[in-house]
Amino acid sequence: MNKKDFIDLVSEKTNLTKKDVKLVIDTFLDGVCDCLASGDKVVLSNFGVLDVNKVATRDIFSPYDGKTLKAVESFRIHFRSSDYLKDKVKNGTVPLS
């Protein structure tokens, strides 16, 4: 399911216009991105938790030339699903695609 399909689904279930649903979803996603960018974690009840983990600078070995290189500091975005979501998927009430 892509964003357009999700907008169509929410629009049908709520009887709101697709334009209004798109605005709400875009605002929600912008808010999630802003929270993660500021270092906060996002907790969505019955869905999961999104958070950012920083990966420190480290030395890595280059087998190409035998030199040690510095890997720059980076980050990873992690998602931990809730038990509720895991149970829904496990019991087949959420279709797997």
| pLDDT at site 58 | 85
Residues 15 and 11: their CA atoms lie apart, in Å, by 6
Domains annotated for the chain, with CATH where assigned, are: 3-90 (4.10.520.10)
Residues of the chain predicted below pLDDT 50: 97
Residues 33 and 40: their CA atoms lie apart, in Å, by 10
Tokens for 80? 């931990």
| pLDDT at site 11 | 95
Q: What is the reported pTM?
A: 0.73
First CA to last CA distance, the chain: 8
Tell me whether residue 35 is exposed, middle or buried, using C-beta atoms within 10 angstroms of its C-beta: 0 to 12, 13 to 18, 19 or more. middle
| pLDDT at site 32 | 95
Residues contacting residue 78 through CB under 8 Å, at least 6 positions apart: 50, 51, 52, 53
The pLDDT tens digits of the residues spanning 14-30 come to: 999 999 999 999 999 99
